[in-house]
Amino acid sequence: MSVNIIVTDSYEASCGEAANQLLSVIKDNPQACLGLATGGTAQGVYPYLVEAYKQQVVSYTEIRTVNLDEYIGLKPDHPQSYRHYMDTYFFDHIDINPLNTYIPSGSQLLQPEITNFSRILEIWPRDVQLLGIGVNGHIGFNEPGGVLQAGVHIATLDTATIQANARFFASEDEVPKTAITMGVGDILQAGKIVLLATGSQKAVVLKKLLTGEEVTTQVPCTLLKLHRDVTVILDRELAWQVGVSST
């Protein structure tokens, strides 16, 4: 197992460091493919990526992007869809070609969309994958269970995930109960993985990833131990709770 741990002074500093990891990939390869994440934790990364474009540090004209997942039942223009999220926080502010961005659709026929998503992952291999982590250890929408899917699939959201995401909706009842997501095998195919985490509620599952030896489908993030190049970025307060220091 090779997990590099970066400890920062704050969540904001962690977001800057995660952005730097992605920007380093882009500087090395201006035609790189980025695997991108959404959610509350990842949101803080995008202003840094936008600012790098505004300061002419990088151009995204030849960059391709693939997102991890999307809720089932939300049209792309829904305020809580991940397409809307990515346009709002990133794509609308940079010089990327919209045809070079892929976010799975949650409003199309599901089986054709699974096939399309799987094909995109084959023809656009990701140089780096940005990840968040759920309170139950999920990555993407790969929820804890007896088995996990390797490839693209429709996931039923765990109760803990629905409760955590309810803050983005008017009520918990409005949170979609299913999503289309990369499988764990898809995530592990990225050349490099950057996982960003904050919040004391993530400490238990991060401890299993960073200090335990077990790999289990009951804590999906532990499967990242099977990857050759994983960087985990967390703030000092969370690192103290997990019991790790920078390496």
Give catalytic residue positions.
69, 136, 138, 143
Terminus-to-terminus CA distance in the chain, angstroms? 14
Tokens of 148: 């996990």
CA angle (173 as vertex; 170, 178 as ends), nearest 5: 110
Residue type, 101: T
CA 64 to CA 100: how far, in whole Å?
5
β-pair type (128-131, 192-197):
parallel
Tokens of 229: 């190049």
Distances from the Cα of 145 to the Cαs of 136, 137, 173, 183, in angstroms?
A: 11, 11, 23, 13
Q: Which long-range contacts (CB under 8 A, 24 or more apart) does 49-52 make?
A: 49/19, 49/22, 49/23, 49/90, 49/94, 50/90, 50/93, 50/94, 52/19, 52/23
H/E element, 187: helix 184-188
